[in-house]
A and B are shown apart, each in its own frame.
Chain A
Amino acid sequence: MSFSTVNSELFIGFFENVKLFGITLLFALPLGLIIAFGSMSKFSPVKLLTRGFVWIIRGTPLMLQLFVVFYVPGLLFDIRFPGSNPRMTAAAIAFVINYACYFSEIYRGGIESIPKGQYEAGQVLGMTKTQVFFKVILLQVIKRIVPPMSNEFMTLIKDTSLARVIAVADIIMVAGKFSARGIIWPLFYTALFFLVFCGLMTVIFGRIEKRLDYFKA
Chain B
Amino acid sequence: MNKKVLALVLAIVMMLSFAACGGNGGDTTTAAGDTTAAGETTAAEDATAEAGESDLAYIQNKGEMVIGYTLFAPMNYEDDNGELTGFETEFAKAVCKELGVTPKFQLIVWDSKETELKSKSIDCIWNGMTINDDLEKNLSISTPYMANKQVLIVKKENADKYLKAEDMKNANIVAEKGSAGERTAQTNEFFAGANYTAVEDQQTALMEVFGNKADGCVVDYVLSIGMIGEGTSYEDLVVVDSLAFEPEQYGIAFRKGSDVTAKVNEAITKLVESGELQKIAEKYKLAEQIIAK
Q: How far is the CB of A86 from chain B (nearest CB, A)?
A: 7
Most buried by B among A51, A70, A72: A72
- Complex contact B71–A180 (CB within 8 A): yes
- Complex contact A164–B109 (CB within 8 A): yes
Is B108 interfacial (CB-CB < 8 Å)?
yes
- Docked Cα-Cα span, A75 to B43, in Å, equals 9
Instruction: Count residues on chain A whose CB falls below 8 Å from chain B CBs.
Output: 38
**Residues of B contacting A48 with CB < 8 Å?**
16-17, 20
- Complex contact A166–B112 (CB within 8 A): yes
Is A67 interfacial (CB-CB < 8 Å)?
yes
- Docked Cα-Cα span, A72 to B97, in Å, equals 32
Is B212 interfacial (CB-CB < 8 Å)?
no
Q: How far is the CB of A87 from chain B (nearest CB, A)?
A: 8
Is B234 interfacial (CB-CB < 8 Å)?
yes
Across the interface, name the chain A residue whose C-beta is closest to B19: A48
- Complex contact B106–A167 (CB within 8 A): yes
How big is chain B's contact interface, by range?
35 or more
**Residues of B contacting A9 with CB < 8 Å?**
82
Q: In the complex, how many residue pairs between chain A and chain B have their CB atoms under 8 Å apart?
A: 105
- Docked Cα-Cα span, A99 to B78, in Å, equals 35
Stretch at the interface among B34-42, B158-166, B266-274: B34-42
- Docked Cα-Cα span, A1 to B206, in Å, equals 19
Chain B 87-120 near chain A by CB (<8 Å), digits 1 or 0: 0000000000000000000111100100110111
Known: A56-B28, A180-B70, A183-B233. A74 touches B108 (CB 8 A): no
Q: How far is the CB of A157 from chain B (nearest CB, A)?
A: 21
Chain A 38-68 near chain B by CB (<8 Å), digits 1 or 0: 0000000000100111011000000000011
Is B48 interfacial (CB-CB < 8 Å)?
no
Q: Which of A75, A79, A182 contacts B38 (CB 8 A)?
A: A75
Across the interface, name the chain B residue whose C-beta is closest to A52: B24
**Residues of A contacting B203 with CB < 8 Å?**
176, 179-180, 182, 184
Q: Is the interface of A mostly helix, strand, loop or mixed?
A: helix
- Complex contact A51–B17 (CB within 8 A): yes
Is B232 interfacial (CB-CB < 8 Å)?
yes
Q: Which of B16, B24, B109 contacts A56 (CB 8 A)?
A: B24
- Complex contact B73–A181 (CB within 8 A): yes
Is B121 interfacial (CB-CB < 8 Å)?
yes
**Residues of A contacting B232 with CB < 8 Å?**
181-183
Is B227 interfacial (CB-CB < 8 Å)?
yes
**Residues of B contacting A181 with CB < 8 Å?**
71, 73, 77-78, 226-227, 232
Is A129 interfacial (CB-CB < 8 Å)?
no
Q: How far is the CB of B241 from chain A (nearest CB, A)?
A: 20
**Residues of A contacting B45 with CB < 8 Å?**
78
- Complex contact B109–A165 (CB within 8 A): yes
Is B72 interfacial (CB-CB < 8 Å)?
yes
- Complex contact A75–B35 (CB within 8 A): yes
Chain B 206-248 near chain A by CB (<8 Å), digits 1 or 0: 1100000000000000000011100111100000000000000
Is B21 interfacial (CB-CB < 8 Å)?
yes
**Residues of A contacting B21 with CB < 8 Å?**
52, 55
Is A80 interfacial (CB-CB < 8 Å)?
yes
Complex A-B, nearest 8 residue pairs according to Cβ-Cβ distance, in ascending order: A74-B119, A182-B232, A180-B71, A52-B24, A179-B203, A71-B119, A48-B20, A182-B227
* Residues of B bordering A, CB below 8 Å: 16-17, 20-21, 23-24, 28, 34-35, 38-39, 42, 45, 70-73, 77-78, 80, 82, 106-109, 112, 115-116, 118-121, 203, 206-207, 226-228, 231-234
